Chain A
């Protein structure tokens, strides 16, 4: 009976050649042509910073990845993608991965940063500038944790840590049955972004009472910084500064609408971009206003420039100056008013002045007021941080919970009161120290809260905010509600000697494919060959079964 079956195949081979070819073409094509396959898991990864500042490169240089995954415990790390969780992250492990020339490092961050214990957060914040300071060829990625990623991590952990510790048979069985993961990123190699424009916004409130009025400038930079641009939300630094600036704009525009309270000072508000990259926005704005235009508020009588930087928390306020203010100047007046208001109305606030000379030999300037100081404008920065080197200023851990709304609102009130006392010259007129200019109804905490919430809802790294970004247009709209002459100001890097260069490919999609080791393929092929062999033998000897069945059935019929 099965001779006919073999006859079919014989004829297939003997008869027209094209037919047999048709049968074998699919097999050949299967082996030859490539195909994009579905991934075991696809997730978004955010790359570490990559930028050049004043010719100096920082951060990671590479963006492409196609390597196997391992965890730090594995012995061989070279050309592998090292996966680490934030809880297990430490600088030594990171250095170990880099020293062994790993293919990439992926750090898994928990979805909700606030669930992390404080010491781990603090440790990571301190490590961020160190990670950025060394220029690495190895791409470093950050991914937010979800269940699938966690299972990938635990599987990789078990397979990595069992290497080199068990017997040969165990290793053989393990390599044959374990699941490896191949991490592949989509996207091209990173390249420099050309013609990136950093946007800054300015607006003013004109004073009353003649020409040549003194000008007070209020500045805050709106961009944020962290080890990964897409993850830097910059809540305290400098979301708090921007929201405070908007609130001050609102308060003083209300005062300036009435003739009785219209003061004799021009108020210039400046929301600068590129602040974390050595205050590029401010630098170019100053150049344009002082060097390239004939008349500008900045050229004439500037009383002082107050920069707001990181004011959303803490119980201390530091006024950073590059030169202690001389008596009789408006600067000195503000200093005194701040002291008065703080001591009389907010005794829990510790106010102090911090004097730091501008050091031009440093790579980057410390505070924003130093840009104005270089151009000989009297300026200071107000911050609750003691030093510009504090790691909180440039960390991805700086998220919304870092801003204490009550403290931000208290600081806003303090500054508003002090400014009002300077503008209206209240101390000279004999107003007592505890006189409150702004009543409770004027201070709108909900507005402050909603501005901070909106600012921290998206990453505002300078590489991500271009001139069409919603952040810029919303800020422009907001300023336009209270101020006049709201204008945009663009900064583009110089072509020949760029002060800053940004790179792209900051957010990529990574695919984790479940792969089996090569031994497994051999094992499987062997098993399939054995199975086919068994089938072949059973078909060849089917006659045996046939005769057995026949013998069983024939006695029955013979008995009839």
Chain B
């Protein structure tokens, strides 16, 4: 009951796709609620996380379109400041993850996993399904589809890390000494895409090398956050 009330309250913003999806989900949850009450499973929560992802992406796009008009400039020059500002908008991702996790009751790891899996799946469906559908079925073979699949694996790990860091950030019992590393990791998570573009642009990396760098970056961030997580969980 509590769950559905929270969802109805959050279904406020102007008519958007996210709103529709969420209302549909809410409707289904509410109508199916009597039957699923005892078995309110993790799958639906993942789907809700995915819906939140859609909503957050939509808001980000609206914000970007309103406040960042197309930049008229030379073809080869890379607008560092502009791209940096655009990357800052990705902070909304953190807010979205926090929203998802706060709605779920349960252990820390459970919340993190559900939020991250739902988020990553939604991102996979939205941004990778169409290219794969259109391109990978043809006669031609191209390595870029393999790269795309690797990229989706890496981004799954990335979202798990991001959810974990957000969870750690919002803990009331976070020690003072941890505040700084957690904030740094949070910043790295948000600006990872921007950093990757920077690397590719400055060092003119090939596609496979860029993928490798991305994997290494995500791996290092995840190791650091794992260390912090373990310390936090087992220090009490």
Known: A38-B138, A40-B140; 8 extra A-B contacts, CB below 8 A, are A34-B137, A38-B135, A514-B141, A535-B153, A549-B226, A549-B227, A550-B230, A557-B234
Q: Are B230 and A4 in contact (CB under 8 A)?
A: no
From B15-23, B63-71, B106-114, B208-216, the one touching the partner chain is B106-114
Q: Is the CB of B134 within 8 A of A515?
A: no
B contacts with A: majority SS: helix
Q: Contact check, B230 vs A549: say whether CB atoms are below 8 A apart.
A: yes
Q: Are A30 and B234 in contact (CB under 8 A)?
A: no
Interface residues of B in 95-117 (CB under 8 A from A): 109-110, 113-114, 117
Interface segment out of the listed B5-13, B39-47, B86-94, B197-205: B39-47
Q: How far is the CA of A180 from the CA of B142 in the complex (A)?
A: 13
Q: Is the CB–CB distance between B41 and A546 below 8 Å?
A: no
Report Cα–Cα, A209/B38, bound state, in Å. Answer: 117
The answer to whether A513 has its CB under 8 Å from any CB of chain B is yes
Chain B residues within an 8 Å CB radius of A7? 41-42
In the complex, whether B174 has a CB less than 8 A from a CB of chain A is no
| Number of inter-chain CB pairs below 8 Å | 83
Tell yes or no: B126 within 8 A of A by CB.
no
Question: A19 in the interface, Cβ–Cβ < 8 Å?
Answer: yes
B178 to chain A, nearest CB (A): 12
Q: How many residues of B contact A (CB 8 A)?
A: 30
Residue among A15, A516, A553 making CB contact with B230, cutoff 8 Å:
A553
A8 touches B42 (CB 8 A): yes
Mask, B35-56, CB within 8 Å of A = 1, is 0000101110010000000000
Please provide the 9 A-B residue pairs with the shortest distance between their CB atoms, ordered closest to farther.
A37-B138, A1-B109, A11-B41, A8-B42, A513-B139, A516-B141, A553-B231, A4-B110, A11-B43
Distance in angstroms between the alpha carbons of A513 and B135 in the assembled complex: 13
Interface residues of A in 507-560 (CB under 8 A from B): 513-516, 520, 524, 535, 545-546, 549-550, 552-554, 556-557
Chain A residue at minimum C-beta to C-beta distance from B132: A30
B189 → A minimal CB distance (Å) = 19
Bin the interface of chain A by size: 35 or more
Q: How far is the CA of A557 from the CA of B136 in the complex (A)?
A: 51
User: B176 → chain A, closest Cβ, in Å?
Assistant: 14
Q: A513-B139, A549-B227, A549-B230 given as contacts; is B129 within 8 A of A8 (CB)?
A: no
Q: How far is the CA of A546 from the CA of B132 in the complex (A)?
A: 35
> Which residues of chain A from 4 to 22 have a CB within 8 Å of any chain B CB?
4-5, 7-8, 11-12, 15, 19
Q: Is the CB of B129 within 8 A of A26?
A: yes
**CB <8 Å contact, A515 and B139:** yes
A37 to B139, CA, bound (A): 7
The chain A residue sitting closest to B141, CB to CB, is A516
Q: Once the chains bind, are B140 and A557 in contact (CB under 8 Å)?
A: no
Instruction: List the A side residues contacting B139 at CB < 8 Å.
Output: 37, 182, 513, 515
Q: 15 A-B residue contacts at CB 8 Å?
A: A4-B113, A5-B117, A8-B43, A11-B41, A11-B42, A30-B132, A36-B138, A37-B137, A37-B140, A513-B139, A514-B140, A515-B140, A515-B141, A516-B141, A549-B230
Distance between B35 CB and nearest chain A CB, rounded to angstroms: 10
> Most chain-A Cβ atoms within 10 A of its Cβ — which of B133, B137, B235?
B137
